[in-house]
Amino acid sequence: MQYDMESRTPYGRSRAEDRVAFVRNVYMWLMGGFAVAAVGALSAPYVANALVPALGGAFVWVLFGAQFGSLIWASAVSRRKPLNRYAYTLFTFICGIFAGIVMLMVARTSGPGIVLAAFGMTAADFLLLTGVAVFSKADFSFLRSFVIVGIGVMFFGSLIAAIFHLETFGLLISAVAVIACSAKILWDTSAMLKTEDYSDPAGFALSLFVSLYNIFLSLLRLLGGRRT
């Protein structure tokens, strides 16, 4: 097979075609993660009813630990098939359970409109940021330090707010999470569009999923206010 060394890969496709295929693969992984999370959210009441009587107040912390552990596993095996599929599915399913429980709580205390508003705002945020990254063609890697600090504040601040029941502080941390994770979407999307390494679509999808998941939960808390 003949191909141009400057513009063709050994498989006869142009680099542009390879990039498009890679980006499509990333978003297929992302949509698959959302589908699995939706299944997890639907099963959340049954999981809670089965485990809360046995675990009591420790249920949320056990779920959080399982979520964090599965995230580490999914990140570690993102390039290893078929382990990346299993790890990604497990993580997104657990996220769905956690989000489903939060959505039920918010819907009961603040109304289902808050949940729908959080969904809509998360989707709009994602589409807007993706559009900015795609059409501006800018390199948003300069956001790296801001994102790292913001995510650190989000993680440890959320733990402190949960342990000491600091409602107002928790709302502030939620606002930080929305900003930091939005910046990370810009950073990840620009990196995805510029990378020459097409071997890790699961890793990019995982990173985008985590950012969107945190934005959604943070918006739920901000829109629900102290009632959540």
Residue 9 lies in a domain: no
Residue 223 lies in a domain: yes
Distance CA 42, CA 45 (A): 7
Give pLDDT tens digits for 145-181: 999 999 999 999 998 988 888 889 999 999 999 999 9
Residue 8 lies in a domain: no
pLDDT at 2 over 60: no
Range of the domain at 152: 15-227
Tell me how crowded residue 107 is: count the other CB atoms within 10 A of its CB: 16
Q: Provide the pLDDT for residue 57.
A: 78
Q: Provide the pLDDT for residue 6.
A: 41
Residue 3 lies in a domain: no
Q: Provide the pLDDT for residue 1.
A: 36
CA distances 10 to 3, 6, 194, Å, are: 7, 11, 20
Distance CA 118, CA 165 (A): 23
Q: Provide the pLDDT for residue 13.
A: 60
Give pLDDT tens digits for 38-52: 999 999 999 989 888
Distance CA 150, CA 181 (A): 8
Residue 136 lies in a domain: yes
Tell me how crowded residue 62 is: count the other CB atoms within 10 A of its CB: 12
Nearest to 63 by CA among 110, 95, 31, 108: 95
200-225: average pLDDT? 95
Among 14-23, 70-79, 130-139, 174-183, the range scoring the smallest mean pLDDT is: 14-23
109-122: average pLDDT? 94
Token digits of residue 197: 């390494």
Q: Provide the pLDDT for residue 56.
A: 81
Residue 51 lies in a domain: yes
**Residue 178 vs residue 225, higher pLDDT:** 178
pLDDT at 77 over 50: yes
73-79: average pLDDT? 96
Distance CA 68, CA 95 (A): 10
Amino acid letter, 50: A
Residue 1 lies in a domain: no
Residue 218 lies in a domain: yes
- Number of compact structural domains in the chain: 1
CA distances 167 to 9, 48, 61, 84, 92, Å, are: 55, 24, 18, 37, 27
pLDDT at 120 over 70: yes
